[in-house]
A and B are shown apart, each in its own frame.
Chain A
Amino acid sequence: MIPFDFDYYRPDSISEAVQIYETLAKQSKKVLFYSGGTEFITFSRINQLYADAVIDLKGIPECNTLEMQGEQIVIGAAVSLNKITESNLFPLLGQTIKKIADHTSRNKITIGGNLHSRLIYRESVLPLLVAEAEVRLAGSEGETTVQLEEIFNQQLSTSPGQFLVQIIVPKTYTDSPFASFKKTKMSKVGYPIVSIAAILKNKQIRAALSGVCEYPFRSVEIEAALNDSSLSIEEKIEKAVTLLPSQIIDDIQASSDYREFVLKNTLHETMEALGAAHG
């Protein structure tokens, strides 16, 4: 059981959510925004997370949007991973998040929750980084729309009281050839040793990785190496691996040496998958 009590609010609008947060913050309460709630329940149960109040965003219509609007795909923060995959609006995103947790869990896990995950993997961010997605945020200062990469540095950084409303993906990226691979230690359901999401845009590979370092990332330096036409495919991969933004993880899932070996193979697989279009 969750060993502490908290207030639960499920507002019907963005303004109501903002107002509730402000009221609770003035009372010095620790407030968390909630959508799927799987991590909140899991970590609270083992005393690794605490809140005086949670604000459930599932009642806000904008947080449940999942549709094409003109030349953009708009995805609400409270939309479940399975609904996104089933919609097939952004196939690379659908395929990447289909590998997170298990099918039943994905009925509950939302994309907003995964982007804010306390775990280091946050794989739903990978396709969004390569597709130059924007995010719509709301808070006491009003609403704002910014490039995801502006506020995603290792993890999603929002101001206190600010919450993710929607993710906006330009349609031009959702139609691009793509590759998505996830390598786990053993079973199909598990944390990644290497997870990659890549697209081919204007004959250039754009790729983001998770599971390799302590945080998910997209690196223009690595992309430049992978797109360097003066190098062989092996040389591209060798160079790319020297450009990782931090040390390779060494843990019970995989040693750093093995992880590097899997990374090289996965990069090769990705290049092959995109190769036909690339050539």
Chain B
Amino acid sequence: MITNGTSKTVVKLHVNGETRDVMIRSADTLLQTLREQLGLTAAKRACQNGDCGACTVLVNGEPTHSCLSLSIESVDQHITTIEGFNNSFIQQEFVDKWAIQCGFCTPGFILNCYALANKHPNADDATIEEWMQSNLCRCTGYQEIKEAVKSVLQKHAGGSVS
């Protein structure tokens, strides 16, 4: 059984292939811990309500709103943030297609696209739309983002995206 009291406690989180010690309250969200304790600021604090997707990270490969997850829930899970990518193919595709604009929403879009490409490498338009509706772009650069996502899927259909 996993327990955590009301005092701050040190727990281990598996983030981007590393095991990191963090000191958390049970009430701390994963977003808070990533940003404030680990300095992983690519997951953005925006709506904090699960509406915008700017805080998206991968938990065991699945896109997850880190604002709607407790840090204590994430113990024993594998968390990936965009900092875990290092000039990856998928990031370059977003740059090449100008799917970046101000950049605030970009990490969330890329992580969601990465999970989509790995789970549904041959995703049809309806599946792409269903997945990507989870993320908002206030610059409204949706056309470029759509092109980047499609390019990623076309270039890596059937293969793992990394």
Contacts and interface: CB of A to CB of B under 8 A. Distances in A.
A complexed with B: yes
B62 interface: yes
Main secondary structure of the interface of B (DSSP, over half): mixed
Interface in B50-109: 50, 53, 56, 59, 62-65, 67-70, 72-73
A37 B134 contact: no
B23 interface: no
Interface in A14-70: 16, 37-38, 41-42, 44-45, 54, 56, 58-59
A189 B133 contact: yes
A8 B6 CA distance: 8
Interface stretch (B27-35, B139-147, B152-160): B27-35
A102 B69 contact: no
Chain A contact residues: helix, strand, loop or mixed:
mixed
Interface in B22-48: 25-29, 32, 48
B84 to A, nearest CB: 18
Nearest to B32: A1
B158 to A, nearest CB: 19
Interface in B100-141: 112, 130-131, 133-135
Interface in A102-116: 102-105, 107-108
A9 B6 CA distance: 11
A109 to B, nearest CB: 9
8 contacts: A5-B25, A9-B1, A9-B3, A11-B1, A103-B133, A103-B134, A107-B64, A108-B64
